[in-house]
Amino acid sequence: MSLRRFVPAALAPRALIAIVFVASLAACSSGSPPPKPTPLAPNEALIGVRQVWTAHVGPVDFPLDVNVNGNTVTLAGAGGTVAAIDARTGRDLWRTSVRTPIAAGVGSDGKLAAVVTTGNELVALQGGRELWRQKLQAQAYTAPLVAGARVFVLAADRSVSAYDGQSGRRLWLQKPPSEPLILRQGGVLLAVGDTLVVGLSGRMVGLNPLNGSLRWEAPIASPRGTNDIERLADLVSPVSRVGNEVCARAFQTAVGCVDAVRGAVLWTRPANGAQGLQGDDRLLFGTEMDGKVVAWRRANGEQAWSTDSLKYRGLSAPLALGRSVVVGDSAGFVHLLSREDGSLLTRLTTDGSAVVAAPVAAGNTLVVVTRNGGVYGFQPE
C-alpha cells in the first residue's frame, strides 16, 4: 500500500489526518513481504513495433493524464514543465514552465491547456504562453477538463467548478459534503454531449455545464467496510466511452457502465483494481491490484478472459489499440497483449522506471511516459 495514494480531504481535522497516517503506515509495514513480480516469458515478437523517438519532461510523481488531440500529445513533468509534442516526430510544438510543481494535468482541447499546481493554482496556457491562473479553494489531483471554451476542475474536497477559458473568471462552484479521505489519483471528469460527467465517491454524476446543477446520479459502487480507508470507493480515470455509454472503475470495488444521457446504470460487476478502464464497443479491459489483466464484455459485464502472466508487476491502466491491449509495468516494460485472449504479442522497453500514465495512441504512434520523465514514441514496422 502506498501512503501517497490516500490523502485527507481539504477540510479534514488534523487529528483525523494523524490517525489515517498511522493506520496506513501500520498496514503497510505489517504482514508478509509483497509477492515477487512474475518472471517475464520470452518475447516472441509476434508483431513488429519499433521505437521512433524519445523526449523528456522531467520526473513525474503526480497523476499525469497524457492528453491527445489529433497528432498532438500534451503532457507535463512534476517540476513544472508543460509540453505539446508532435507524436509523429517527437518534436516540441511548444514547451514552457509554470514555475511551480504540478499536482494534476494535463487538460486540453488542442488550443487551451490547463494544469493544477501544488500551490492550488489552476493555470491556463495557450500556444505555450500563460494565459491566466486562478487560486483554487482545495488541491486537485484530476486533470482539468477543457471543453466548450471552459475549464472544469474536480478538486480534492469533491467540489466541481467552471472557469471561463479566456479570462479565467470563475463561473460557478458546486460543493457537496466533504468526506474524510480521497485518493491522490485522477478521478472521472468528462463531457458527454451537453452533460458534464463527474465521479463523486462511488457515483457517476451528470451536471449541467452552464451552472453545475445536478441532472442525474448513477451509483457504480457503495462505500463499504468499517473504516475510512476501506470505505473508499472513488471512481478513477481513465474511463471508456462509446457514444453515450461511459464505463468506469470504482477503486478496489467494482467496474460498471452508465448511460450518460439517462443517468441509468447498465451493469456493475465486482472487481479489485486501482487503475481505470479502456475498451471499445465490444470489450472492456482493466488491470487488477494483483496484476491480472481482465477483459469484460461491454454488453453485460461478463468476463471474457483474464491472464496471470503479469501478476505483481505494478501495471498501468490499459490502452486498447488495434488487435492489442497495451499495459506498462513498474520496471518500464510495455506489454502488447492479444485483445482476444491476453496472450503476449510483443514487449517493448523504456528507461527502466515505472510507466506512470495510461499509454495513449496519437495518430499512428503509441506514446508512453515513465516515472523518470521519459516520453517514448513507438510505431508499427
Angle at 354 between CA 321 and CA 350, to 5 degrees: 65
Computed over every residue of the chain, the mean pLDDT equals: 91
Contact 99, 68 (CB under 8 A): no
Residue 183's pLDDT is what?
85
Distance between CA atoms of 284 and 104, rounded to whole angstroms? 26
d(CA 244, CA 72): 25
In this structure, what are the phi and psi dihedrals at residue 234, rounded to the nearest 5 degrees?
-60, 145
Neighbours of 231 (CB within 10 A): 17
Could you tell me the three cell numbers for 103? 499536482
SS3 377: strand
Give residue 226's pLDDT: 67
Written as tens digits, the pLDDT of the chain (381 aa) is 343 454 554 433 333 333 333 333 334 444 678 899 999 999 999 999 999 999 999 999 999 999 999 999 999 999 999 999 999 999 999 999 999 999 999 999 999 999 999 999 999 999 999 999 999 999 999 999 999 999 999 999 999 999 999 999 999 999 987 666 778 999 999 999 999 999 998 999 999 999 999 999 999 997 766 666 666 789 999 999 999 999 999 999 999 999 999 999 999 999 999 999 999 999 999 999 999 999 999 999 999 999 999 999 999 999 999 999 999 999 999 999 999 999 999 999 999 999 999 999 999 999 999 999 999 999 999
pTM for this model (two decimals): 0.91
- Are residues 296 and 269 in contact, defined by beta-carbon separation less than 8 angstroms? yes
For residue 3, what pLDDT is reported?
37
255-264 confidence digits (pLDDT tens):
999 999 999 9
